[in-house]
């Protein structure tokens, strides 16, 4: 409960700083959310390079439209939704460009980058386990575990019901447990 209050007060401060045009607001937003947003983007896009591009594009859009972001009721969910939309745009663009070329996507592009782990074998195992999950379950797991988001925030970010978010989380965990 204390963590949620702290997160809400941090978000409120960030929203006020954005609304007031504080030059440090974007830096504070980056420091607060970039790591978890990057992990989420890696899950969605399957590539660290593409995830970094999407994250940078997200912050460019925030910089251009600070006032709209500042008005978001739930800043964290709003950021995740913005990033999800950017990732979907990127995947549509990538699909179009790949269909125009004769070469198919490489295995490297399709591979999911494991969330940082100190032990390389654990990172490899986690990468394989996450890769085996359906996209919907991967997204919810990353948002819940690494993003420290509540199911209502995940539901808002992904435009699904809270029960669906909880179910995807539970099913994803069950599959990960079976993997290990």
Residue 123's pLDDT is what?
A: 58
Alpha helices in the chain (DSSP H): 2-19, 25-45, 48-64, 66-70, 75-100, 107-110, 120-132, 135-141, 151-158, 162-179
Residue 92's pLDDT is what?
A: 79
Residue 164's pLDDT is what?
A: 95
Both structure tokens of 21: 């045009």
Residue 5's pLDDT is what?
A: 41
Both structure tokens of 46: 């399957």
- The whole-model pTM stands at 0.64
Residue 144's pLDDT is what?
A: 87
Q: State the number of CA atoms in the 13 A half-sphere of 20 facing the CB.
A: 10
Residue 119's pLDDT is what?
A: 45
Q: Kindly report, residue by residue over 96-138, the tens digit of the pLDDT.
A: 666 544 444 443 333 333 333 344 555 567 677 777 889 899 8
Residue 54's pLDDT is what?
A: 92
Residue 111's pLDDT is what?
A: 39
Residue 2's pLDDT is what?
A: 39
Buried b (16+ CB within 10 A) or exposed e, 119-129: eeeeeeebbeb
pLDDT tens for the chain, 180 residues long, are 334 445 677 889 999 999 998 889 999 999 999 999 998 888 888 888 899 999 999 999 999 999 889 999 899 999 999 998 898 888 877 766 665 444 444 433 333 333 333 445 555 676 777 778 898 998 898 888 878 889 999 999 999 999 999 999 999 988 888 876
Cβ atoms of 19 and 70 within 8 Å: the answer is: yes
Residue 124's pLDDT is what?
A: 64
Both structure tokens of 85: 């939309």
Residue 118's pLDDT is what?
A: 40
Alpha carbon distance 124, 131 (integer Å): 10
Q: Give the CA distances from residue 22 to residues 13, 70, 118, in Å, rounded to whole numbers and listed in that order.
A: 11, 12, 36
Q: Which of 148, 158, 10 is nearest to 80 (CA)?
A: 158
The DSSP secondary structure of 142-171, one letter per residue, reads IIIIIS---HHHHHHHHTS-HHHHHHHHHH
DSSP annotation of 115 reads P
């Amino acid at each position: 409960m204390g963590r949620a209050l702290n997160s809400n007060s941090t978000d409120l401060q960030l929203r006020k700083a954005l609304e007031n045009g504080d030059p440090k607001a974007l830096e504070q937003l980056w420091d607060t959310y970039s790591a978890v947003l990057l992990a989420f983007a890696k899950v969605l896009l399957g590539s660290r390079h593409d995830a970094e591009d999407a994250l940078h594009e997200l912050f460019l859009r925030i910089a251009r439209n600070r006032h709209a972001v500042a008005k978001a009721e739930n800043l964290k969910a709003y950021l995740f939704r913005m990033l999800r939309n950017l990732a979907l745009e990127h995947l549509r663009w990538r699909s179009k460009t790949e269909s125009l070329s004769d070469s198919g996507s490489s295995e490297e592009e399709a591979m999911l980058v494991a969330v940082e782990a100190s032990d390389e074998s654990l990172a490899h195992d986690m990468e394989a386990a996450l890769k085996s999950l359906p996209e919907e379950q991967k997204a919810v797991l990353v948002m819940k575990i690494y993003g420290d988001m509540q199911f209502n925030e995940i539901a808002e970010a992904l435009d699904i019901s809270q029960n669906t978010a909880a179910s995807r989380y539970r099913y994803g965990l069950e599959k990960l447990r079976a993997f290990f």
